[in-house]
Chain A
C-alpha cells in the first residue's frame, strides 16, 4: 500500500508531462489541408514555403531534436553570434558566481556588524529599506556610465541584487542569537572574537545560508535580463540573439536550460544549508 503511495507522485508527474507534450503536439500540428496560394508566388518561393503550413513554433519532436543537437555539441564556438549553449551558460554562471561571491564578501561581514549592534542596525535600516526594493536593472545605466564596461556592469548588477537578502538575513540571524548562548560565552569569559566565530556564527549560520539561497535564485533570475541588455555572451544574450534569428526552438532550449541550472544552483545551496543546520 505504502509502496504504491510512494509511486503516486512520480506517476502523476509523468502524466502531467505527457499531457503537456500532447497538448503542445496537438497545437503545433501542421494544418491538415495545404493552403493553395497564387501559382506564380508558389513557383517563386517553392511550394512548401508558399503554403505556410508550418508555424515557427516547433513541435515537441523538433524541440527534442534541437535539444539533442545542443547536447551533442554544447561547447562549439563559431564566432561571436554562434556559440554553443554550454559556453553561453558557462558565461552566465561565471558572472553570477563572481557577482554573488563579491556580494557575500561584503554582505556577510557587514550584516554581522549590523546584527551585533542595535545602533548600527537602526542607523543603516532606512538605507537598506530604500535600496532593497530597487530593481537591479535600474542600476544598469548608472553602472554602464560609471564603470564604462558592460561585462563589469553585469557583474555589478548581480552584486547589487544578491547583496540585500544576504545582508538582511545575516543581520537578522546575528541579532536573534539566543541570549543564553551569549550568556554562556560571557560566563566563560570568552573573548569577543572567539564568541563571534564559535557562538554567533554557528548559531546564525542557518539564517545566513537561507539568505544566501534566496540571493543565488535572484541572481540567476537577474542575469538573463542583464545579459539581454549588455549583450555579447551569456544565456540571456543567447535568448535575445535567437529572438532576432526567430529561432523559437533555440529560445525554448535556452528557457529549459535556464530552469535546470537555476534548480541546480538552488539544490546546491539547499545541501550547504543542511550542513550548517542544527536540530534543537
Chain B
C-alpha cells in the first residue's frame, strides 16, 4: 500500500471565547487520504469541517496534532494544495482569464505571457467556459463562477484539491451538472480530492471514502464509510445500483441519529483507527467482496511521540 498523500494525526482545535471559556470544536482526529482518492467529509455545521479544510490548506492552525502531506508536515499554504472556496472567491476586478492567469503566473512566475494564456485557455476549455474568457465575475452566473474557481484550482496542477462545500450556494440543477463535471475531470486527471459537503447524494456520487463526523463541540470521526459502488458513476443511474440505498440509509441514519448520540466511549472505538465500514455490501456481497478484494485493514498510524 502506497504512502497516503495526506495523513492527519490527532488534530484538535480549541477556541477561547471572550469570557475565557475554552471550546473544543473537534479533538483527536485521525484519517488519511491516498493518492487519487476522492474523500468527502460529512457532518453537521459546527463540527469544524471548514476548520479541518483550512488546516489542510495551511490557512489555519490546529491546537494540537499534526498534518502531513506527502510525508512532510504542513507549515503553511502551498501551491501543492489548491482550494476551491465555497464563495468562489474570484477577484471581481479581473476577467475570467485574469483570475486564472493570476494563479498560473503565481505557480510559474518564469512563464511568458503567451504561455500563461495558452495554459489558462486549456483549463477554461476543460470547465466548458470557452467564450467567456473576457467576462468579469459579475457577468457570470453562480455556476459559471464556480467553474472558474475549479479551473483556477486545477490550473496550478496541484497534488491535492480541497473543496469547501463548493456547490452549496448553487441551485439544484446547476449543482448536478457541476458534480458530473467534477466527476469527469477527476477521472481524467486522477486528481486527489478532499471535499466537505453536507449533501449525502453528492458524497455518494463523488467519493471513494466518506468520513463521518459527530456533532460539535468535541466532534470526532465516528467512522469512515467506503463507497463500494463502481467508480464510473453517473447521477442518472446512481440510484439503480443495489448499494446506493444501503449507503444512503446508513449516512442518513448517522446524520439524523447517531451523529448526536455517538459518544465514542465504546471499548471497541479507537480514535486512531476509526472503524471502516462498507454499508453498501450486505452479508452475501461482503463475502464475495472479501474474496475478490480483501478488505484493507485500516492502516495503523504511527503514534505521535510526546
A residues sitting closer than 8 Å to B (CB atoms) are 178, 180-181, 183-190, 194, 198-199, 202-203, 205, 276, 278-280
Contacts and interface: CB of A to CB of B under 8 A. Distances in A.
B102 A202 contact: no
A183 B89 contact: yes
B107 A280 contact: no
Contacts of B215: none
Contact of A184 (B81, B91, B93, B136): B91
7 contacts: A184-B89, A188-B77, A188-B103, A188-B106, A189-B106, A203-B91, A280-B137
B264 interface: no
A194 B102 CA distance: 10
Contact of B92 (A184, A185, A187, A279): A279
Given A180-B89, A188-B102, A199-B91, 12 more contacts: A180-B85, A180-B87, A183-B59, A183-B83, A183-B85, A184-B91, A186-B59, A198-B102, A202-B94, A278-B93, A280-B92, A280-B137
A137 B2 CA distance: 75
Question: What does DSSP make chain A's interface, helix, strand, loop or mixed?
Answer: helix
Given A278-B92, A279-B138, A184 B107 contact: no
Nearest to B149: A184
A61 B77 CA distance: 73
B57 interface: yes
Contacts of B107: 188
Contacts of B92: 278-280
B271 interface: no
Interface residues of B, number: 25
List the 9 shortest-distance A-B pairs measured between CB atoms, nearest first.
Answer: A279-B138, A180-B89, A278-B93, A188-B106, A278-B92, A187-B77, A186-B77, A202-B93, A187-B83
Interface of B: 57-59, 76-79, 81-83, 85, 87, 89, 91-94, 102-103, 106-107, 136-138, 156
A20 B58 CA distance: 67
B14 to A, nearest CB: 21
Contacts of B57: 187
B101 to A, nearest CB: 11
Contacts of B102: 188, 198
A178 B59 CA distance: 15
Nearest to A190: B106
A279 B79 CA distance: 28
Contacts of A280: 92, 137-138
Contacts of B76: 186
A188 B59 contact: no
B40 to A, nearest CB: 20
A187 B81 contact: yes
Given A278-B136, A278-B138, A189 B89 contact: no
A179 to B, nearest CB: 9
A235 to B, nearest CB: 38
A280 to B, nearest CB: 5
A236 B136 CA distance: 46
A123 B41 CA distance: 43
A201 to B, nearest CB: 10
B297 to A, nearest CB: 34
A276 B94 CA distance: 11
Given A183-B59, A183-B85, A184-B85, A202 B106 contact: no
B82 A203 contact: no
Contacts of A181: 89, 91
Contacts of A184: 83, 85, 89, 91, 103
A280 B138 CA distance: 5
A198 B136 CA distance: 16
Nearest to B152: A184
Nearest to B57: A187
Nearest to B93: A278
Contacts of A186: 58-59, 76-77
Contacts of A180: 85, 87, 89
B156 A203 contact: no
A189 B93 contact: no
A189 B91 contact: no
Nearest to B59: A183
Contacts of A199: 91
B150 to A, nearest CB: 14
B96 to A, nearest CB: 14
B142 to A, nearest CB: 13
Contacts of A203: 91, 93
A185 B83 CA distance: 11
Contacts of B79: 187-189
A279 B156 CA distance: 26
Contacts of A202: 91, 93-94
